[in-house]
Structure 1
Amino acid sequence: MDLFLGPVKLTAINKSNHLVFKLLPSSGYTRPIIESSAHYKCDYHTTNNLPLLNSYKKKLTGESTDKEMMPYNWHILYGNGEIVINVDYLKTNKSIEELVAFVNNDKKKIDIWIKPTTQAAIIIDPLFQPLGSLLMVYLAYYTGGFLIHASGVTLNHQSYLFTAVSGTGKSTMAGLWKKVDADVINDDRLWLHKVNGIWHMFNTPMVFYAQTPKKSKINGIFLLKQSKTNELYQITGLNAAMRVMANCIQHFFNQEMTQEHLDRVLDFTSNTSIYDCGFKPDGEIVKMIRELRETT
Protein backbone atom coordinates (compact mmCIF):
# COMPACT_ATOMS: atom_id res chain seq x y z
CA MET A 1 0.00 0.00 0.00
CA ASP A 2 1.54 3.30 -1.10
CA LEU A 3 0.75 6.61 0.61
CA PHE A 4 2.03 10.02 -0.51
CA LEU A 5 2.74 12.81 1.96
CA GLY A 6 4.08 15.94 0.27
CA PRO A 7 7.44 14.87 -1.21
CA VAL A 8 7.42 11.46 0.53
CA LYS A 9 6.30 8.11 -0.83
CA LEU A 10 5.54 5.73 2.03
CA THR A 11 5.07 2.03 1.27
CA ALA A 12 3.18 0.44 4.16
CA ILE A 13 3.65 -3.33 4.37
CA ASN A 14 1.55 -5.42 6.76
CA LYS A 15 3.69 -8.30 8.03
CA SER A 16 1.21 -9.55 10.61
CA ASN A 17 -2.01 -11.54 10.39
CA HIS A 18 -3.06 -9.67 13.52
CA LEU A 19 -3.34 -6.35 11.67
CA VAL A 20 -5.83 -5.11 9.12
CA PHE A 21 -5.10 -1.89 7.23
CA LYS A 22 -8.13 0.33 6.68
CA LEU A 23 -7.57 3.76 5.18
CA LEU A 24 -9.43 6.38 7.21
CA PRO A 25 -7.71 9.81 7.46
CA SER A 26 -5.18 8.61 4.88
CA SER A 27 -7.80 7.49 2.36
CA GLY A 28 -7.14 10.38 -0.04
CA TYR A 29 -3.36 10.07 0.01
CA THR A 30 -2.88 7.14 -2.35
CA ARG A 31 -1.66 9.26 -5.28
CA PRO A 32 1.23 11.73 -5.44
CA ILE A 33 0.56 15.45 -5.69
CA ILE A 34 4.19 16.22 -6.61
CA GLU A 35 7.09 14.03 -7.67
CA SER A 36 8.36 12.10 -4.65
CA SER A 37 11.92 12.89 -3.58
CA ALA A 38 12.15 10.17 -0.90
CA HIS A 39 10.71 6.66 -0.69
CA TYR A 40 10.42 4.98 2.72
CA LYS A 41 9.54 1.33 3.21
CA CYS A 42 7.41 0.92 6.33
CA ASP A 43 6.98 -2.59 7.80
CA TYR A 44 4.30 -3.26 10.44
CA HIS A 45 4.62 -6.15 12.91
CA THR A 46 2.76 -7.35 16.00
CA THR A 47 4.52 -8.96 18.94
CA ASN A 48 4.10 -9.59 22.65
CA ASN A 49 7.80 -8.84 23.17
CA LEU A 50 8.77 -5.44 21.85
CA PRO A 51 12.40 -4.77 20.84
CA LEU A 52 14.60 -3.59 23.70
CA LEU A 53 15.56 0.09 23.74
CA ASN A 54 18.57 -0.09 26.04
CA SER A 55 20.94 1.32 23.43
CA TYR A 56 18.72 4.34 22.74
CA LYS A 57 18.60 7.54 24.76
CA LYS A 58 15.30 9.22 25.54
CA LYS A 59 15.19 12.75 24.12
CA LEU A 60 11.59 14.01 24.26
CA THR A 61 8.35 13.01 25.98
CA GLY A 62 4.72 14.04 25.54
CA GLU A 63 2.48 13.27 28.52
CA SER A 64 -1.29 13.08 28.19
CA THR A 65 -3.31 15.74 30.00
CA ASP A 66 -6.65 14.57 28.60
CA LYS A 67 -7.14 10.80 28.44
CA GLU A 68 -10.12 11.16 26.12
CA MET A 69 -8.49 13.45 23.53
CA MET A 70 -4.96 12.05 23.96
CA PRO A 71 -5.16 8.45 25.23
CA TYR A 72 -1.41 7.85 25.14
CA ASN A 73 2.02 9.10 26.20
CA TRP A 74 4.76 9.32 23.58
CA HIS A 75 8.55 9.34 23.72
CA ILE A 76 11.29 10.10 21.19
CA LEU A 77 14.58 8.25 21.56
CA TYR A 78 17.77 8.34 19.52
CA GLY A 79 20.70 6.00 18.99
CA ASN A 80 22.50 3.92 16.36
CA GLY A 81 21.67 6.60 13.79
CA GLU A 82 17.95 5.99 14.24
CA ILE A 83 15.02 7.94 15.67
CA VAL A 84 12.69 5.80 17.76
CA ILE A 85 9.04 6.63 18.40
CA ASN A 86 7.68 4.87 21.48
CA VAL A 87 4.01 5.17 22.42
CA ASP A 88 2.37 3.91 25.62
CA TYR A 89 -1.38 3.63 25.14
CA LEU A 90 -3.66 4.22 28.09
CA LYS A 91 -6.39 1.80 29.09
CA THR A 92 -8.89 3.65 26.90
CA ASN A 93 -7.27 1.93 23.92
CA LYS A 94 -8.77 -1.55 23.79
CA SER A 95 -6.51 -3.06 21.13
CA ILE A 96 -2.94 -1.70 21.43
CA GLU A 97 -0.81 -1.53 24.57
CA GLU A 98 2.41 -0.08 23.18
CA LEU A 99 4.30 0.52 19.96
CA VAL A 100 7.90 1.09 18.97
CA ALA A 101 8.86 2.52 15.56
CA PHE A 102 12.46 2.67 14.33
CA VAL A 103 13.08 5.37 11.70
CA ASN A 104 16.30 4.90 9.73
CA ASN A 105 16.70 7.73 7.24
CA ASP A 106 19.91 6.40 5.70
CA LYS A 107 18.20 3.14 4.74
CA LYS A 108 14.84 4.85 4.09
CA LYS A 109 13.36 2.18 6.35
CA ILE A 110 10.75 2.33 9.12
CA ASP A 111 10.00 -0.70 11.30
CA ILE A 112 6.89 -0.53 13.48
CA TRP A 113 6.32 -3.05 16.26
CA ILE A 114 2.89 -3.15 17.91
CA LYS A 115 2.08 -4.93 21.17
CA PRO A 116 -1.62 -5.90 21.09
CA THR A 117 -3.97 -6.29 24.04
CA THR A 118 -6.37 -8.60 22.24
CA GLN A 119 -6.37 -11.73 20.10
CA ALA A 120 -8.86 -10.11 17.74
CA ALA A 121 -7.70 -8.39 14.55
CA ILE A 122 -6.50 -4.81 15.02
CA ILE A 123 -7.93 -2.49 12.37
CA ILE A 124 -5.77 0.60 11.83
CA ASP A 125 -4.97 3.33 9.37
CA PRO A 126 -1.22 3.03 8.65
CA LEU A 127 -0.85 6.61 9.98
CA PHE A 128 -2.88 6.05 13.14
CA GLN A 129 -2.37 8.38 16.08
CA PRO A 130 0.06 9.49 17.30
CA LEU A 131 2.42 7.53 15.07
CA GLY A 132 1.42 9.39 11.90
CA SER A 133 1.71 12.86 13.43
CA LEU A 134 5.11 12.18 14.99
CA LEU A 135 6.43 10.41 11.91
CA MET A 136 5.51 13.33 9.64
CA VAL A 137 7.61 15.74 11.73
CA TYR A 138 10.73 13.76 10.93
CA LEU A 139 9.81 12.91 7.34
CA ALA A 140 9.32 16.62 6.68
CA TYR A 141 12.65 17.38 8.33
CA TYR A 142 14.52 14.72 6.36
CA THR A 143 13.11 16.05 3.06
CA GLY A 144 13.96 19.72 3.66
CA GLY A 145 10.68 21.03 5.07
CA PHE A 146 8.82 21.45 8.33
CA LEU A 147 5.35 21.29 9.88
CA ILE A 148 3.45 24.23 11.31
CA HIS A 149 0.24 24.71 13.27
CA ALA A 150 -1.67 26.73 10.69
CA SER A 151 -4.64 26.87 8.39
CA GLY A 152 -4.24 27.65 4.72
CA VAL A 153 -6.62 28.89 2.03
CA THR A 154 -6.39 29.80 -1.64
CA LEU A 155 -8.65 32.06 -3.69
CA ASN A 156 -8.16 33.66 -7.10
CA HIS A 157 -4.54 32.48 -7.33
CA GLN A 158 -3.66 34.00 -3.95
CA SER A 159 -2.90 31.73 -0.99
CA TYR A 160 -2.62 32.62 2.67
CA LEU A 161 -1.30 30.88 5.74
CA PHE A 162 -2.87 31.68 9.13
CA THR A 163 -0.88 30.56 12.15
CA ALA A 164 -1.52 30.74 15.88
CA VAL A 165 -1.63 28.65 19.03
CA SER A 166 -4.55 26.28 19.46
CA GLY A 167 -7.88 27.95 20.08
CA THR A 168 -6.91 31.33 18.62
CA GLY A 169 -8.85 31.09 15.39
CA LYS A 170 -7.14 29.02 12.68
CA SER A 171 -10.28 26.99 11.95
CA THR A 172 -12.52 30.03 12.36
CA MET A 173 -10.48 31.96 9.80
CA ALA A 174 -10.56 29.03 7.39
CA GLY A 175 -14.34 28.92 7.79
CA LEU A 176 -14.67 32.63 6.94
CA TRP A 177 -12.75 32.09 3.72
CA LYS A 178 -14.78 29.02 2.85
CA LYS A 179 -17.89 31.24 2.89
CA VAL A 180 -16.44 33.21 -0.05
CA ASP A 181 -15.65 29.98 -1.92
CA ALA A 182 -11.98 29.81 -1.08
CA ASP A 183 -10.36 26.38 -1.16
CA VAL A 184 -9.25 25.35 2.33
CA ILE A 185 -5.89 23.57 2.15
CA ASN A 186 -6.16 22.55 5.83
CA ASP A 187 -7.48 24.16 8.98
CA ASP A 188 -4.92 23.05 11.57
CA ARG A 189 -1.62 21.58 10.36
CA LEU A 190 0.41 22.23 7.21
CA TRP A 191 3.53 20.64 5.76
CA LEU A 192 5.78 23.33 4.22
CA HIS A 193 8.13 22.24 1.44
CA LYS A 194 9.96 23.94 -1.42
CA VAL A 195 8.82 23.11 -4.94
CA ASN A 196 11.14 24.45 -7.66
CA GLY A 197 12.66 26.83 -5.12
CA ILE A 198 9.31 28.24 -3.93
CA TRP A 199 7.75 27.45 -0.54
CA HIS A 200 4.43 25.60 -0.80
CA MET A 201 1.98 24.38 1.80
CA PHE A 202 0.56 20.85 1.72
CA ASN A 203 -2.26 19.43 3.79
CA THR A 204 -1.73 16.30 5.89
CA PRO A 205 -3.99 13.45 7.03
CA MET A 206 -6.07 14.60 10.00
CA VAL A 207 -7.62 12.64 12.86
CA PHE A 208 -11.28 13.64 12.65
CA TYR A 209 -11.86 14.00 8.91
CA ALA A 210 -10.50 12.96 5.52
CA GLN A 211 -9.18 15.26 2.79
CA THR A 212 -7.69 14.80 -0.62
CA PRO A 213 -4.10 16.05 -1.01
CA LYS A 214 -3.81 19.77 -1.74
CA LYS A 215 -0.97 22.19 -2.20
CA SER A 216 -0.41 25.85 -2.98
CA LYS A 217 2.37 28.39 -2.92
CA ILE A 218 2.11 30.97 -0.13
CA ASN A 219 1.54 34.68 -0.73
CA GLY A 220 1.25 35.84 2.85
CA ILE A 221 1.64 34.73 6.49
CA PHE A 222 -0.84 36.05 9.05
CA LEU A 223 -0.18 35.79 12.80
CA LEU A 224 -3.63 35.52 14.32
CA LYS A 225 -4.91 37.01 17.55
CA GLN A 226 -8.42 37.61 18.79
CA SER A 227 -9.44 41.25 18.75
CA LYS A 228 -12.48 43.49 19.12
CA THR A 229 -11.57 45.07 15.80
CA ASN A 230 -10.10 43.80 12.54
CA GLU A 231 -6.56 45.07 12.05
CA LEU A 232 -3.54 44.24 9.91
CA TYR A 233 0.06 45.35 10.37
CA GLN A 234 3.02 44.15 8.33
CA ILE A 235 5.98 43.06 10.45
CA THR A 236 9.52 42.18 9.41
CA GLY A 237 12.83 41.05 10.77
CA LEU A 238 13.99 38.38 13.16
CA ASN A 239 11.19 38.97 15.64
CA ALA A 240 8.59 38.29 12.97
CA ALA A 241 10.41 35.12 11.91
CA MET A 242 10.65 33.86 15.50
CA ARG A 243 6.94 34.41 16.02
CA VAL A 244 6.26 32.19 13.03
CA MET A 245 8.76 29.64 14.31
CA ALA A 246 6.99 29.53 17.68
CA ASN A 247 4.02 27.88 15.96
CA CYS A 248 6.09 25.27 14.13
CA ILE A 249 5.99 21.65 15.29
CA GLN A 250 9.51 21.19 16.62
CA HIS A 251 10.28 17.74 18.03
CA PHE A 252 14.01 18.21 17.51
CA PHE A 253 16.65 17.15 20.00
CA ASN A 254 20.13 18.14 18.83
CA GLN A 255 21.96 21.21 17.58
CA GLU A 256 22.18 20.06 13.96
CA MET A 257 18.45 19.45 13.60
CA THR A 258 17.56 22.67 15.39
CA GLN A 259 19.93 24.75 13.24
CA GLU A 260 18.64 23.26 9.99
CA HIS A 261 15.06 23.88 11.10
CA LEU A 262 15.92 27.50 12.00
CA ASP A 263 17.57 28.03 8.61
CA ARG A 264 14.46 26.78 6.80
CA VAL A 265 12.10 28.96 8.82
CA LEU A 266 14.29 32.02 8.20
CA ASP A 267 14.39 31.23 4.48
CA PHE A 268 10.61 30.85 4.41
CA THR A 269 9.86 34.02 6.37
CA SER A 270 12.42 36.13 4.51
CA ASN A 271 10.68 35.32 1.23
CA THR A 272 7.07 35.77 2.39
CA SER A 273 5.24 38.84 3.73
CA ILE A 274 4.21 38.54 7.40
CA TYR A 275 1.32 40.38 9.07
CA ASP A 276 -0.05 40.76 12.57
CA CYS A 277 -3.73 39.96 12.20
CA GLY A 278 -6.17 40.84 14.93
CA PHE A 279 -9.65 39.76 13.93
CA LYS A 280 -13.20 39.25 15.00
CA PRO A 281 -15.14 36.42 13.33
CA ASP A 282 -16.79 38.26 10.47
CA GLY A 283 -16.28 38.68 6.75
CA GLU A 284 -14.62 42.08 7.02
CA ILE A 285 -11.22 40.57 7.76
CA VAL A 286 -11.42 38.50 4.57
CA LYS A 287 -12.14 41.65 2.58
CA MET A 288 -9.27 43.50 4.26
CA ILE A 289 -6.76 40.76 3.45
CA ARG A 290 -7.93 40.49 -0.14
CA GLU A 291 -7.66 44.27 -0.61
CA LEU A 292 -4.26 44.29 1.12
CA ARG A 293 -2.80 41.66 -1.19
CA GLU A 294 -4.28 43.32 -4.29
CA THR A 295 -2.40 46.52 -3.49
CA THR A 296 0.99 44.93 -2.69
Structure 2
Amino acid sequence: MEQNYWIKCFKAADITIQVQSDYPIRKNTFHSKFKRFEVLKKGEDSITIFHHLSPVNEDRVKPGREKEVYKKDQWQIFKNKNTWIYHYNSIFPGDPVDKVVGIMNRDYSEIHIYAENISRKVYAQARFPALTLFNTDQMIFAKLLSDRQGLVIHSNGFNINGNGILIAGVSGSGKSTLSGMLKKIGHEILCDDRMFVRSVDGGFHIFGNWCYGSHPDVSPSNAPLSGIVFLKKGGQNRIQEITDQKAIVSKLMPVIVKPMLDVDGWRKYLSTFERLRKSTRFYEIEFDLSGKAGDIISDYFK
Protein backbone atom coordinates (compact mmCIF):
# COMPACT_ATOMS: atom_id res chain seq x y z
CA MET A 1 0.00 0.00 0.00
CA GLU A 2 1.39 3.39 -0.96
CA GLN A 3 2.03 5.61 2.04
CA ASN A 4 0.11 8.88 2.23
CA TYR A 5 2.63 11.47 3.35
CA TRP A 6 -0.03 14.16 3.76
CA ILE A 7 -1.94 12.30 6.49
CA LYS A 8 -0.77 10.87 9.83
CA CYS A 9 -2.76 9.45 12.76
CA PHE A 10 -1.90 9.48 16.46
CA LYS A 11 -3.79 8.16 19.48
CA ALA A 12 -4.02 9.13 23.15
CA ALA A 13 -6.76 8.45 25.72
CA ASP A 14 -8.53 6.31 23.08
CA ILE A 15 -8.95 9.40 20.87
CA THR A 16 -7.42 9.26 17.39
CA ILE A 17 -6.12 12.52 15.97
CA GLN A 18 -5.74 12.55 12.20
CA VAL A 19 -3.44 15.26 10.90
CA GLN A 20 -4.01 16.26 7.29
CA SER A 21 -1.51 18.74 5.86
CA ASP A 22 -0.95 20.96 2.85
CA TYR A 23 2.69 19.81 2.94
CA PRO A 24 4.07 16.26 3.15
CA ILE A 25 4.55 15.12 6.76
CA ARG A 26 8.12 13.90 7.04
CA LYS A 27 10.05 11.96 9.66
CA ASN A 28 11.11 15.10 11.53
CA THR A 29 7.99 17.22 11.06
CA PHE A 30 6.90 16.25 14.58
CA HIS A 31 8.97 15.58 17.71
CA SER A 32 10.21 12.00 18.02
CA LYS A 33 7.89 11.42 21.03
CA PHE A 34 4.96 11.07 18.63
CA LYS A 35 6.31 7.83 17.15
CA ARG A 36 5.11 6.00 20.26
CA PHE A 37 1.56 7.20 19.65
CA GLU A 38 1.34 6.79 15.87
CA VAL A 39 -1.38 4.47 14.54
CA LEU A 40 -2.23 3.36 11.02
CA LYS A 41 -5.76 4.68 10.76
CA LYS A 42 -8.55 6.56 12.51
CA GLY A 43 -10.45 4.81 15.27
CA GLU A 44 -14.11 5.06 16.23
CA ASP A 45 -13.50 8.15 18.37
CA SER A 46 -11.49 10.56 16.25
CA ILE A 47 -10.93 14.19 15.32
CA THR A 48 -9.13 15.81 12.39
CA ILE A 49 -6.56 18.60 12.46
CA PHE A 50 -5.94 20.33 9.13
CA HIS A 51 -2.61 22.11 8.64
CA HIS A 52 -2.91 25.08 6.30
CA LEU A 53 0.53 26.52 5.69
CA SER A 54 -0.82 29.89 4.64
CA PRO A 55 -2.38 32.96 6.30
CA VAL A 56 -5.93 32.65 7.53
CA ASN A 57 -8.61 34.55 5.63
CA GLU A 58 -9.11 37.73 7.66
CA ASP A 59 -12.90 37.47 7.26
CA ARG A 60 -12.83 34.31 9.41
CA VAL A 61 -11.17 36.03 12.35
CA LYS A 62 -12.46 39.57 12.02
CA PRO A 63 -12.71 41.24 15.46
CA GLY A 64 -16.21 41.80 16.79
CA ARG A 65 -17.76 38.54 15.63
CA GLU A 66 -16.54 36.56 18.62
CA LYS A 67 -16.25 37.24 22.33
CA GLU A 68 -12.80 37.21 23.88
CA VAL A 69 -12.82 34.58 26.64
CA TYR A 70 -9.13 34.31 27.53
CA LYS A 71 -5.95 36.37 27.14
CA LYS A 72 -2.67 35.49 28.82
CA ASP A 73 0.96 35.00 27.78
CA GLN A 74 0.98 33.43 24.30
CA TRP A 75 -2.79 32.91 24.12
CA GLN A 76 -5.77 34.94 22.99
CA ILE A 77 -8.98 32.93 22.65
CA PHE A 78 -12.33 33.95 21.19
CA LYS A 79 -15.67 32.16 20.99
CA ASN A 80 -19.04 32.47 19.36
CA LYS A 81 -21.95 30.03 19.39
CA ASN A 82 -20.33 27.34 17.23
CA THR A 83 -16.65 28.28 16.86
CA TRP A 84 -13.54 28.68 18.96
CA ILE A 85 -10.62 30.76 17.65
CA TYR A 86 -7.17 30.44 19.19
CA HIS A 87 -4.48 33.04 18.46
CA TYR A 88 -1.06 31.72 19.44
CA ASN A 89 1.87 34.15 19.49
CA SER A 90 5.06 32.36 20.45
CA ILE A 91 7.08 33.58 23.42
CA PHE A 92 9.49 30.64 23.33
CA PRO A 93 13.02 30.89 21.86
CA GLY A 94 13.56 28.40 19.07
CA ASP A 95 9.86 27.87 18.41
CA PRO A 96 9.49 26.87 14.71
CA VAL A 97 6.49 29.19 14.29
CA ASP A 98 5.84 32.75 15.48
CA LYS A 99 2.09 32.96 14.94
CA VAL A 100 -0.58 30.29 14.61
CA VAL A 101 -4.35 30.63 14.33
CA GLY A 102 -6.54 27.67 15.23
CA ILE A 103 -10.23 27.56 14.31
CA MET A 104 -12.20 24.81 16.03
CA ASN A 105 -15.80 23.77 15.66
CA ARG A 106 -17.92 23.48 18.77
CA ASP A 107 -16.79 20.01 19.86
CA TYR A 108 -13.22 20.28 18.45
CA SER A 109 -13.83 17.37 16.09
CA GLU A 110 -12.55 19.56 13.25
CA ILE A 111 -9.62 21.89 13.81
CA HIS A 112 -8.10 24.13 11.15
CA ILE A 113 -4.59 25.39 11.85
CA TYR A 114 -3.14 28.33 9.93
CA ALA A 115 0.60 28.97 10.19
CA GLU A 116 2.35 31.66 8.17
CA ASN A 117 5.81 31.78 6.66
CA ILE A 118 6.65 28.09 6.85
CA SER A 119 8.40 26.56 3.86
CA ARG A 120 8.21 22.89 2.96
CA LYS A 121 11.82 22.53 4.10
CA VAL A 122 11.16 24.08 7.52
CA TYR A 123 7.95 22.04 7.96
CA ALA A 124 9.82 18.83 7.16
CA GLN A 125 12.46 19.44 9.88
CA ALA A 126 10.51 21.48 12.47
CA ARG A 127 10.07 18.77 15.14
CA PHE A 128 6.84 20.42 16.29
CA PRO A 129 6.09 19.63 19.97
CA ALA A 130 2.33 19.63 19.33
CA LEU A 131 0.02 18.44 16.56
CA THR A 132 -1.74 21.81 16.67
CA LEU A 133 1.61 23.58 15.99
CA PHE A 134 1.09 25.43 19.30
CA ASN A 135 3.65 24.76 22.03
CA THR A 136 1.31 22.14 23.55
CA ASP A 137 -1.84 20.14 22.74
CA GLN A 138 -2.98 20.31 26.36
CA MET A 139 -5.61 22.94 25.57
CA ILE A 140 -7.45 20.77 23.05
CA PHE A 141 -7.24 17.59 25.14
CA ALA A 142 -8.70 19.39 28.16
CA LYS A 143 -11.75 20.16 26.02
CA LEU A 144 -11.90 16.76 24.28
CA LEU A 145 -11.71 14.87 27.57
CA SER A 146 -14.33 17.06 29.24
CA ASP A 147 -16.79 15.87 26.56
CA ARG A 148 -15.84 12.25 27.25
CA GLN A 149 -16.12 12.04 31.05
CA GLY A 150 -12.47 12.88 31.44
CA LEU A 151 -10.02 15.42 32.89
CA VAL A 152 -6.41 16.52 32.63
CA ILE A 153 -4.59 16.46 35.98
CA HIS A 154 -1.26 18.03 36.96
CA SER A 155 0.38 14.80 38.03
CA ASN A 156 2.89 12.14 37.14
CA GLY A 157 1.21 8.88 36.23
CA PHE A 158 2.58 5.42 36.99
CA ASN A 159 1.61 1.83 36.40
CA ILE A 160 2.49 0.27 39.75
CA ASN A 161 1.86 -3.47 39.81
CA GLY A 162 -1.07 -3.00 37.40
CA ASN A 163 -2.49 -0.08 39.38
CA GLY A 164 -2.81 3.37 37.82
CA ILE A 165 -1.41 5.81 40.38
CA LEU A 166 -1.26 9.59 40.04
CA ILE A 167 1.40 11.49 41.97
CA ALA A 168 -0.35 14.85 42.12
CA GLY A 169 0.81 18.31 43.08
CA VAL A 170 1.59 21.79 41.85
CA SER A 171 5.05 22.77 40.62
CA GLY A 172 7.68 22.45 43.32
CA SER A 173 5.73 19.97 45.44
CA GLY A 174 8.17 17.12 44.85
CA LYS A 175 6.58 15.16 41.99
CA SER A 176 9.88 14.79 40.15
CA THR A 177 11.72 13.68 43.29
CA LEU A 178 9.21 10.99 44.21
CA SER A 179 8.85 9.92 40.57
CA GLY A 180 12.60 9.43 40.38
CA MET A 181 12.35 7.03 43.32
CA LEU A 182 9.58 5.05 41.60
CA LYS A 183 11.40 4.89 38.28
CA LYS A 184 14.55 3.72 40.03
CA ILE A 185 12.76 0.62 41.32
CA GLY A 186 11.34 -0.17 37.89
CA HIS A 187 7.82 1.22 37.74
CA GLU A 188 6.58 2.49 34.37
CA ILE A 189 5.89 6.21 34.13
CA LEU A 190 3.12 7.08 31.68
CA CYS A 191 3.70 10.83 31.51
CA ASP A 192 5.41 13.62 33.41
CA ASP A 193 3.25 16.42 34.89
CA ARG A 194 0.16 16.07 32.66
CA MET A 195 -2.02 12.99 32.93
CA PHE A 196 -5.20 12.21 31.04
CA VAL A 197 -7.99 10.59 33.05
CA ARG A 198 -11.05 9.16 31.34
CA SER A 199 -13.99 6.97 32.27
CA VAL A 200 -13.77 3.54 30.63
CA ASP A 201 -16.51 0.92 31.11
CA GLY A 202 -17.75 2.64 34.25
CA GLY A 203 -14.37 3.18 35.90
CA PHE A 204 -11.60 5.74 35.47
CA HIS A 205 -8.36 4.94 33.67
CA ILE A 206 -5.19 7.00 33.39
CA PHE A 207 -3.54 7.42 30.00
CA GLY A 208 -0.01 8.26 28.94
CA ASN A 209 0.27 11.09 26.44
CA TRP A 210 2.73 13.43 24.74
CA CYS A 211 1.90 16.62 26.73
CA TYR A 212 4.67 16.14 29.26
CA GLY A 213 6.20 18.82 31.45
CA SER A 214 9.95 19.15 31.93
CA HIS A 215 10.90 15.47 31.60
CA PRO A 216 10.27 13.64 28.29
CA ASP A 217 8.86 10.50 29.91
CA VAL A 218 5.95 9.22 27.83
CA SER A 219 4.13 5.98 27.18
CA PRO A 220 1.03 5.12 25.11
CA SER A 221 -0.06 2.73 27.88
CA ASN A 222 -2.98 3.11 30.26
CA ALA A 223 -4.01 1.58 33.58
CA PRO A 224 -7.13 1.53 35.79
CA LEU A 225 -7.00 4.40 38.28
CA SER A 226 -6.40 2.99 41.75
CA GLY A 227 -5.42 6.11 43.67
CA ILE A 228 -4.35 9.75 43.63
CA VAL A 229 -1.44 10.51 45.95
CA PHE A 230 -0.79 14.05 47.16
CA LEU A 231 2.63 15.04 48.42
CA LYS A 232 3.88 16.35 51.73
CA LYS A 233 7.57 16.93 52.29
CA GLY A 234 8.68 16.04 55.79
CA GLY A 235 11.05 14.13 57.99
CA GLN A 236 9.16 10.83 57.84
CA ASN A 237 8.15 8.33 55.15
CA ARG A 238 4.54 7.27 55.49
CA ILE A 239 1.34 7.11 53.45
CA GLN A 240 -2.20 7.49 54.74
CA GLU A 241 -5.61 7.62 53.11
CA ILE A 242 -7.54 10.90 53.03
CA THR A 243 -11.24 10.49 53.81
CA ASP A 244 -12.25 14.05 54.70
CA GLN A 245 -14.19 15.29 51.65
CA LYS A 246 -13.35 18.96 52.16
CA ALA A 247 -9.67 18.09 52.31
CA ILE A 248 -9.98 16.05 49.11
CA VAL A 249 -11.64 18.89 47.22
CA SER A 250 -9.11 21.46 48.49
CA LYS A 251 -6.23 19.28 47.28
CA LEU A 252 -7.79 18.04 44.05
CA MET A 253 -9.18 21.27 42.61
CA PRO A 254 -5.81 23.08 42.22
CA VAL A 255 -4.31 20.24 40.18
CA ILE A 256 -7.15 19.93 37.66
CA VAL A 257 -6.38 21.63 34.33
CA LYS A 258 -9.25 24.01 33.61
CA PRO A 259 -10.41 23.80 29.98
CA MET A 260 -12.08 26.46 27.82
CA LEU A 261 -15.77 25.50 28.01
CA ASP A 262 -19.27 26.80 27.40
CA VAL A 263 -22.09 26.38 29.93
CA ASP A 264 -22.90 22.83 28.82
CA GLY A 265 -19.21 21.96 28.90
CA TRP A 266 -18.87 23.15 32.49
CA ARG A 267 -21.86 21.03 33.48
CA LYS A 268 -20.14 17.94 32.06
CA TYR A 269 -16.83 18.91 33.64
CA LEU A 270 -18.28 19.33 37.12
CA SER A 271 -20.20 16.07 36.81
CA THR A 272 -16.98 14.24 35.96
CA PHE A 273 -15.15 15.95 38.81
CA GLU A 274 -17.82 14.74 41.25
CA ARG A 275 -17.68 11.18 39.91
CA LEU A 276 -13.91 11.18 40.25
CA ARG A 277 -14.11 12.52 43.80
CA LYS A 278 -16.68 9.94 44.89
CA SER A 279 -15.21 6.88 43.17
CA THR A 280 -11.47 7.37 43.70
CA ARG A 281 -9.32 6.75 46.77
CA PHE A 282 -7.03 9.60 47.80
CA TYR A 283 -3.83 9.50 49.81
CA GLU A 284 -1.16 11.76 51.23
CA ILE A 285 2.44 10.67 51.43
CA GLU A 286 5.01 12.33 53.62
CA PHE A 287 8.54 11.70 52.44
CA ASP A 288 12.17 12.65 52.78
CA LEU A 289 15.04 12.20 50.31
CA SER A 290 16.15 8.78 51.52
CA GLY A 291 14.30 6.95 48.73
CA LYS A 292 12.20 4.89 51.12
CA ALA A 293 8.97 6.53 49.97
CA GLY A 294 9.22 4.79 46.60
CA ASP A 295 9.29 1.39 48.31
CA ILE A 296 6.39 2.39 50.55
CA ILE A 297 4.18 3.25 47.55
CA SER A 298 5.28 0.11 45.68
CA ASP A 299 4.37 -2.10 48.64
CA TYR A 300 1.12 -0.26 49.37
CA PHE A 301 -0.24 -0.76 45.84
CA LYS A 302 0.56 -4.44 45.35
Q: Which residue matches 1:56?
A: 66
Contact 2:104 2:110 in 1 (8 A): yes
Q: Which residue matches 2:175?
A: 170
Q: Secondary structure at the match of 1:232?
A: strand
Fraction of identical pairs, as percent? 17
Please, which moves more after superposition, 4-13 or 277-286? Answer: 277-286
Q: Which residue of the other structure, out of 122, 140, 145, is the alignment partner of 1:140?
A: 145
Q: Which residue matches 1:15?
A: 22
Please, which moves more after superposition, 106-115 or 6-15? Answer: 106-115
2:24 paired with 1:24: no
Q: Which has the higher strand share?
A: 1
Please, which moves more after superposition, 88-97 or 255-264? Answer: 88-97
Mapping of residues 1-296 of structure 1, within 5 Å: 1-16=8-23, 21-31=29-39, 36-49=43-56, 51=58, 52-54=61-63, 55-63=65-73, 73-90=74-91, 92-93=93-94, 95-106=96-107, 108-116=109-117, 121-122=122-123, 123-125=126-128, 126-206=131-211, 209=216, 211-236=218-243, 237-293=245-301
* Change over 3 Å in CA distance of 1:27–1:53 after alignment to 2: farther
Q: Secondary structure at the match of 2:223?
A: strand
Contact 1:58 1:78 in 2 (8 A): yes
Q: Secondary structure at the match of 1:138?
A: helix
* Unmatched tracts of structure 1, length 5 or more: 64-72
Q: Which residue matches 1:69?
A: none
Residue identity in the other structure for 1:172: T
Deviation at 1:104, TM superposition (A): 1.4
* Change over 3 Å in CA distance of 1:22–1:162 after alignment to 2: closer
Contact 2:150 2:196 in 1 (8 A): yes
* Unmatched tracts of structure 2, length 5 or more: 1-7
Deviation at 1:138, TM superposition (A): 1.5
Residue identity in the other structure for 1:224: L
Cα shift readout 1:244-294 (whole Å, capped 9, x = no counterpart): 121011033544333322221221121111112222233322333344446
Cα shift readout 1:178-202 (whole Å, capped 9, x = no counterpart): 1221111222110001111110100
Cα shift readout 1:197-229 (whole Å, capped 9, x = no counterpart): 110100110466363401011211111122222
